[in-house]
Amino acid sequence: MSSAVDVVDLLVIGGGIAGGSCALRAADCGLDVLTVVKSADPRNTATEWAQGGIVAEGDEDPPELLVEDILEAGDHIGWPEAAEQLADMGPDLVMELLVDRLGVPFDREPNGDMAKGVEAAHSRSRILHVGDATGYAIQQKLTEALEAHEGIDVVSAHMAVDLITRSHHDPHPSRAYSPDRVLGAYILDEDTGEVKTVLARCTILATGGLGHIFLHTTNPPSATGDGVAMAFRAGLPIRNLEYVQFHPSAFFSAQGDRFLISEAVRGEGAWLLNSRGERFMERYAPDKLELAPRDELARAIHEEMAATGHPCVYLDLANHHREGLDIEGRFPQIHAFLRSRNLDLASDPIPVVPAAHYSCGGVLVDLDGKVPDVPGLYAVGEVSCTGLHGANRLASTSLLEGLVWGWKAGAACVQDVEAGASSELDPVYARIPPWDSAGCEDEVDPVLFQQDWNSIRSTMWNYAGIVRTQRRLKRACNDLGYLGHRIERFYRSTRLSRELLELRNGIVTARSVAEAARRNTVSRGCHYLRE
């Protein structure tokens, strides 16, 4: 990617497991693939931050059982066909791509079999893991494969500004009578400030999540809702944004440190205790206890914190774990982090709080990752809404969803490119104007950025967080609406940068989440309404 205008078969925006598997599948079939990631290090993705594991196949574990667990966790509003596709394709794809091809070093039992853990709301032990750094291990191997593939160009420190669509960017009058189509994206080179025009036969949104629109999150700093915001501005269908999952156990400190304490810690037997030392889940979920679905756990912790006036609860693995567990060996990353905070997972109860973790909604797609009625565009991974998760996500299904839909989208893109006549699009490509930065000359002011982000995150946490009311959501929509107009004016006069784009995307996505929550008056799953 060296010129101001590039034309490729496939543009992939994002380099995690969803975008990466898509790029590999398409490049294997001969497509010319450009993968852009906004971080300077292409391995710095949400996938890299995933700790717990990835769903595979357990003992006496037919696909129908996984489907049942997924739909149950999603409060039975998920799409059964999506759950069936995941259960049918996923375990084989894990073995073929992650184990056999990429060589991800999943943990094994002494006899050589894959070690399989159990996590919240799973009825079988079916989770493969690499200690407590599964996503890190997958991302290292995946990035190596992407960079080594002769058909893939991986470009870091490049951020998508907006999708290029025929309806928005083709100046020819015929656009009013033609179906809309995504033609690529404008891409910011973060080092030079140049905005490049990348035209593509197919474009993949694989930008990850939106956790950083909330005050507390387990997501990487890059999770600012970029894909949802670009889709919104392009007029694309977006669904289920109100269903934001809050992970029950992020490390708490008064200094503001947040670090995910994996679901797998509870899977190994840890108890949740309040400040009085009581195992409070006995009152909220007496059957499943600490292995209840995440939304139930997050609300229970929220209630205990409110009832006791204490800023956190405690996760106790030291005194409650399965016999023979090597705590440091099983959770090396968590153990090392806690030791740096003068805590020991093997001897101390760990202070935890809920934090925004995963968006169950996003850009609406079909079983191939295609966006309906918008040729040329796919969305995979957390930015998408496949219908798999319904109102709440089952633990350790996010990596598998990204893998399956990424692989399917890559294959579908090959079919699209092979079936399409390039000559039909070439005249349209020739008419697409370069990025216009006229009038955007003001320098970045870090104080303004920080204040606006503080307003977004506090508003979302307090009014559209774990427990919502219609009154709070109305306040959120009003406050964010005013802030959104102010940020858009700021955007149009300020020199383009990653920080500016993330702020613009963050406010658009925050407003979209709050509005979706306000419209949905049914309390269900992650979207918990109290009146």
Within a domain: 528: no
Please answer whether residues 528 and 466 qualify as being in contact, where contact means their C-beta atoms are separated by less than 8 angstroms. yes
Separation between Cα atoms, residue 386 and residue 65, nearest integer Å: 20
Last residue of a domain, one of 355, 389, 422: 355
pLDDT level of residue 423 (50, 70, 90 thresholds): low
Q: In which order are the strands placed within the sheet that holds 244-251?
A: 244-251, 350-359, 313-316, 271-273
Within a domain: 441: no
pLDDT level of residue 421 (50, 70, 90 thresholds): low
Specify the residue for token string 């200094």: 255
Please compute the mean of the pLDDT values over residues 113-117 and round it to a whole number: 95
Please give the pLDDT value at position 337: 94
**CA 254 → CA 183, 196, 217, 258, distances in Å?**
47, 43, 15, 10
Residue 207 has pLDDT above 60, yes or no: yes
Please answer whether residues 369 and 300 qualify as being in contact, where contact means their C-beta atoms are separated by less than 8 angstroms. no
Residue 1 has pLDDT above 70, yes or no: no
Please answer whether residues 124 and 118 qualify as being in contact, where contact means their C-beta atoms are separated by less than 8 angstroms. yes
Low-confidence winner among 389-403, 418-432, 441-455, 495-509 (lowest mean pLDDT)? 418-432
Please answer whether residues 231 and 205 qualify as being in contact, where contact means their C-beta atoms are separated by less than 8 angstroms. yes
Residue 168 has pLDDT above 80, yes or no: yes
**234 and 172 together in one domain:** yes
Active site residues: 294
Domain range for residue 281? 253-355
**229 and 272 together in one domain:** no
Last residue of a domain, one of 431, 454, 470: 431
Terminal-to-terminal C-alpha distance of the chain: 53
Residues 6 or more apart in contact with residue 360 via CB below 8 angstroms: 74, 240, 243, 244, 245, 385, 389, 390, 391, 392, 393, 525, 526
Number of residues that make up the chain: 531
CATH of the domain at 94: 3.50.50.60
**369 and 408 together in one domain:** yes
Low-confidence winner among 61-65, 410-414, 422-426 (lowest mean pLDDT)? 422-426
Pairing of strands 5-13, 195-205: parallel
**296 and 170 together in one domain:** no
**238 and 259 together in one domain:** no
Residue 438 has pLDDT above 80, yes or no: no
Separation between Cα atoms, residue 222 and residue 212, nearest integer Å: 8
Separation between Cα atoms, residue 360 and residue 382, nearest integer Å: 7
pLDDT level of residue 443 (50, 70, 90 thresholds): confident
Residue 94 has pLDDT above 60, yes or no: yes
pLDDT level of residue 101 (50, 70, 90 thresholds): very high
Pairing of strands 158-165, 182-189: antiparallel
Please compute the mean of the pLDDT values over residues 434-438 and round it to a whole number: 87
Instruction: Give the pair of three-digit tokens for residue 238.
Output: 């977006």
**351 and 364 together in one domain:** no
Please give the pLDDT value at position 477: 99
**149 and 31 together in one domain:** yes
Share of the chain above pLDDT 70, in %: 99
Q: How far does Cα 141 stand from its chain's mean position?
A: 19
Please compute the mean of the pLDDT values over residues 202-210 and round it to a whole number: 99
Pairing of strands 384-385, 362-364: parallel
Separation between Cα atoms, residue 317 and residue 340, nearest integer Å: 18
For the chain, the average pLDDT equals 94
Within a domain: 23: yes
| pLDDT tens readout for residues 26-40 | 999 999 999 999 999
Please compute the mean of the pLDDT values over residues 134-148 and round it to a whole number: 98
Judge residue 125's burial from the number of C-beta atoms within 10 Å of its C-beta, 0-12 exposed, 13-18 middle, 19 or more buried. Answer: middle
Residue 132 has pLDDT above 60, yes or no: yes
How many CA atoms lie less than 13 Å away from 364 in the CB half-sphere?
12
pTM over 0.75: yes
Last residue of a domain, one of 323, 355, 387: 355
Q: Which helix (H) or strand (E) holds 238?
A: strand 238-239
Within a domain: 458: yes
Helix, strand, coil % over all residues of the chain, rounded to 5: 40, 20, 40
String of DSSP letters for 443-504: PP-HHHHHHHHHHHHHHHHHHSSSSB-HHHHHHHHHHHHHHHHHHHHHHHHB---HHHHHHH
**68 and 174 together in one domain:** yes
**113 and 260 together in one domain:** no
Domain count, the chain: 3
Separation between Cα atoms, residue 481 and residue 507, nearest integer Å: 9
**147 and 280 together in one domain:** no
Specify the residue for token string 């998920």: 78
Alpha helices in 94-202 (DSSP H): 134-148, 166-169
Within a domain: 526: no
Specify the residue for token string 């010319």: 32
Between 226 and 423, residue with greater pLDDT? 226
**427 and 460 together in one domain:** no
CATH of the domain at 342: 3.90.700.10
Within a domain: 60: yes
CATH of the domain at 477: 1.20.58.100
| pLDDT tens readout for residues 480-517 | 999 999 999 999 999 999 999 999 999 999 999 999 99
**191 and 142 together in one domain:** yes
Within a domain: 231: yes
Within a domain: 51: yes
Residue 3 has pLDDT above 60, yes or no: no
